[in-house]
Amino acid sequence: MKKRLLILVLVSMVSLTGFAYDEGMWLPLLLKKYNEADMQAKGFRLTAEDIYDINHSSLKDAVVRLGGGFCTAEVVSEDGLLLTNHHCGFGVVQQHSTVEHDYVTNGFWAYTKEQELDNEGLTASFLVRIEDVTDQVLKQLDDTMSETSRSAKLKTIFDKIQKDATKDTDYTGEVKNMFNGNEYYLFVYHTFKDVRLVGAPPSSIGKFGGDTDNWMWPRHTGDFSMLRIYCGKDGKPATYAKDNVPYHPKKHLNISMGGYQPKDYAMTMGYPARTDRYLTSYGVSMAIDQTAPTIVKIRTKKLAIIKEGMDGDKAVHIKYVAKYASTSNYWKYYIGQRKGLLRLKVEDQKQAEEKEFAAWVNSGDAKRKEKYGKVLGDFESLYKDWRTYNLGRQYLNEAIFQGAEILSLAMQCQGLADSLAVKGHKEDNIKEQATKLRKSAAGIYKNYDVMTDKKLLAGLLKMYRDDVPKDQQADYLGEIESKYKGDYKKFAEEVFAKSMFCDSVKYFKFLSSPDAKTLNNDPAFKTISAIYKNYTAKYRPIFTSLDQRLEKDNRLLLAGLREMKPTKKFYPNANSTMRVSYGSVLDYNGADAIHYNYYTTLDGIMEKADSTNEEFIVPAKLKALYDKKDYGRYADNGKIRTCFITNNDITGGNSGSPVMNAKGDLIGIAFDGNWEAMSGDIAFDTELKRCINVDIRYVLFIIDKYAGATNLIKEMTLVDEIKN
Ligand code: ARG
């Protein structure tokens, strides 16, 4: 009875505001206007200005974007110490690992600042301010423009706004479209370029549960790692130098030792990368039929090949472990997404919304009909056209451009080949290109295994050849097929025997004085160049035109939806800009008769422990701490809580985001979503969608009791001690 009642209440809330409050990735700039009252009603004890204020320090100053937004991190000390996820720091941990110093397996801890490790290319950006520049942008556009001239025009408008906004500063500006191109916002960033590795637990803690538990609750993963921002002595961003100093940020988060109760207010801030919440039923249907199964099929093959190499050789394991993890992450995501879309009948939901929209259009005046009358039909025909090319497009992305690395290395030389083909080309220019190519190749070779890559080339090229309509493929692939009678292993053997790209010595020798003949005769270059040329000449224009039609239709549809529901609070799709999501700590019912509690404990790690399964090995030291109940100040009623769930609305890019309580203090680090709601990037299911977080006290317990890195604990500001 009670349950049913709750559902009714939720449903009526959904219909009043469009959706329940826990859905939504809100722009910090607009919190005051749209969310503050709602947040406070839900228990938030601060104000919108405490989150976003451009004149005083606010929570936004403690949340950073890593790189271009692959993850989020939060500042937790005066000395620029950052917390993020283990899977966010995994790439740099892997880069520093060798068979002798295997930080991936054993973890890494800096007990002094001198021991921290530098990471070329890793950046951390603070958000300085956001500005609504919609009027400025829209007044320079008009509805009759073609999409091509619109995007060219937008580029010049953006460039000017970005330049003006950052003049005489060391900031960078980015104008982003919001609400599918109906609004535009400027984001100004301060980017730091010396970000060092401070600590990471062993994979048996940071990735406990591995791919089996990935995207699932209940979870017991200690998914955290630590970095530190350094700057020049003048306090300004600088690339790595030994005498750079720790950066003193405007704000760092307090760490709550007080824990949480069910229904407690919980909030995340971070950089969600991409959602498709306004996708039409036609888009959902294509995702189910084509996109997801294609990506899964290709990745299944890739993973099997890589695993074979990793299992046989420790050095190959270290080289491929991060590549394997990122490939498998979205392999499993797409399996779950497809299942979720089907199980939750998302296509039907979308059709119902479209029906409502069509009815609204038809009930309107001539102007409304004229503006919106065609948009649904346009979507239908767009997706019909798209389906013809979608398979080939997914294959190019997954199996070719991100397939065998010998092809990626060779493809990087396409520009060089073009320059060499120009009569009277400048030697300086060639040299410059060669230097860049060498640098990029060195990064690839560091984690390269010839045997594995050879199998990837044979396996993925065969799949591409077999599955993609032949008339969409480069003719050269037909020639290869007949020459080798469909034996791609033989083809790969020959490519690897003759190509310079699988041998750094040969390739670097070529780069020291590049010549067109060597390049054009290289079998890897020949293959990828044929594919690439076929793509640029015939298919890129088609893909661009499909994308433009989609953009136009999306823009129009969302404009219409907002007009149709003038009182509903809409939020824009995620696009790697800072968002706030608020809700509460909350359990859920996963399926009939299955109720999931809102937190897990160290007991569960011991229950899952399996020394014969790489994913579930428990380090002896952790077991010893557990046996002695040596929990220090980190236990909650005698137990170490490992992970907990909230109904915050997050997605990829949010990884590492702070989870804060009503006072803005850190209670956890967000790291995943749950299996029952994997279609969440397309449709948020209020009943099922949860955000999985590592409990901050588990993080502290590992740093302190497991790693003995008390130096790091001392730097942080711990508040609200729990009395056990
Ligand atoms: N699903 C997590 C995310 O996308 C990543 C977890 C990484 N772990 C793994 N086993 N691949 O944020």
Q: Is the pLDDT of residue 21 over 80?
A: no
655 catalytic, yes or no? yes
pLDDT digits (tens, 9 = 90+) for 146-188: 999 999 999 999 999 999 999 999 999 999 999 999 999 999 9
Indicate the number of domains in the chain: 3
At residue 721, the pLDDT reads 72
Among 527, 559, 591, residue at a domain's last position = 559
In the beta sheet, which residues pair with residue 325?
Answer: none
| Residue 105 to residue 94: CA distance in whole angstroms | 10
When pLDDT is cut at 50, 70 and 90, the band that residue 722 belongs to is low
Among 511, 527, 559, residue at a domain's last position = 559
CB 347 within 8 A of CB 285: yes
- Whether 603 and 696 map to the same domain: the answer is yes
Virtual torsion, Cα 247, 252, 257, 261, nearest 10 deg = -140
- Whether 82 and 155 map to the same domain: the answer is no
CA 87 to ligand 1: nearest atom: 7
Q: Which percentage of the chain shows pLDDT scores above 70?
A: 97
pLDDT digits (tens, 9 = 90+) for 190-214: 999 999 999 999 999 999 999 999 9
- Whether 717 and 628 map to the same domain: the answer is yes
Residue 215 in contact with ligand 1 by CB distance below 6 A: yes
- Phi and psi at residue 37, to the nearest 5°: -60, -45
- Whether 410 and 313 map to the same domain: the answer is yes
CA 655 to ligand 1: nearest atom: 12
When pLDDT is cut at 50, 70 and 90, the band that residue 17 belongs to is very low
Residue 565 lies in a domain: no
Mutate to test the pocket of ligand 1, among 72, 329, 651 (most ligand atoms within 8 A of CB): 329
C-alpha 437 to ligand 1 mean position (Å): 31
Residue 225 in contact with ligand 1 by CB distance below 6 A: no
The DSSP string of 71-121 is EEEEE-STT-EEEE-HHHHHHHHHHT--SSS-HHHH-EE-SSGGG-B--TT
Q: Which residues contact 331 (CB under 8 A, 6 or more apart)?
A: 295, 296, 299, 300, 303
**Protein residue with its CA nearest to atom 3 in ligand 1:** 672
Residue 283 in contact with ligand 1 by CB distance below 6 A: no
pTM metric for this prediction? 0.95
87 catalytic, yes or no? yes
| Residue 616 to residue 608: CA distance in whole angstroms | 6
pLDDT digits (tens, 9 = 90+) for 500-539: 999 999 999 999 999 999 999 999 999 999 999 999 999 9
- Whether 264 and 288 map to the same domain: the answer is no
- Whether 485 and 363 map to the same domain: the answer is yes
C-alpha 703 to ligand 1 mean position (Å): 21
| Residue 665 to residue 646: CA distance in whole angstroms | 15
> Which structural domain, as residue segments, surrounds residue 158?
130-191
C-alpha 598 to ligand 1 mean position (Å): 20
In the beta sheet, which residues pair with residue 192?
Answer: 124
| Strand 183-192 to 172-178 pairing | antiparallel
- Whether 696 and 595 map to the same domain: the answer is yes
CA 214 to ligand 1: nearest atom: 10
C-alpha 79 to ligand 1 mean position (Å): 28
Residue 619 in contact with ligand 1 by CB distance below 6 A: no
Residue 211 in contact with ligand 1 by CB distance below 6 A: yes
- Whether 7 and 103 map to the same domain: the answer is yes
CB crowding 27-41: b at 16 or more within 10 Å, else e? bbbbbeebbbebbee
CB 547 within 8 A of CB 146: no
